[in-house]
Amino acid sequence: MVNSICSAVFPGTGFTGKPVTPGDGWKTLANWKKLARDMRLSDVQKILGDPEQVDGGTIAFWRYPNGGTVTFFIGKADSWSEPK
């Protein structure tokens, strides 16, 4: 789902069309610590897994069930809020 949404909104941002194994990466605070500015959508997806909700366009927000959020600007991670 995220692949199709993000590749439509951000063409050419690194999605290869290969499936990403869903994971529970977002449940582990250590995985949130691995995030870095300018990470591609696919890199964040590999670390945290699929978000629960995706909102936006040029500025996009990925929301996770634990309250964590990743904000992307033009397909690259800009900021994030780790779960509480």
* pLDDT tens column, 18-70: 444 456 799 999 999 999 999 999 999 999 999 999 999 999 999 998 899 99
pTM: 0.72
**Contact (Cβ atoms closer than 8 angstroms) between residue 78 and residue 40:** no
pLDDT at 75: 95
**Angstrom distances, CA of residue 39 to CA of 71, 84:** 11, 22
CA nearest 66: which of 38, 33, 32, 19? Answer: 32
| Confidence check: pLDDT of 79 > 90 | yes
* pLDDT tens column, 8-30: 444 444 444 444 445 679 999 99
**Could you tell me which CATH number the domain at 2-81 has?**
3.30.1450
d(CA 65, CA 40): 21
- Domain spans, the chain: 2-81
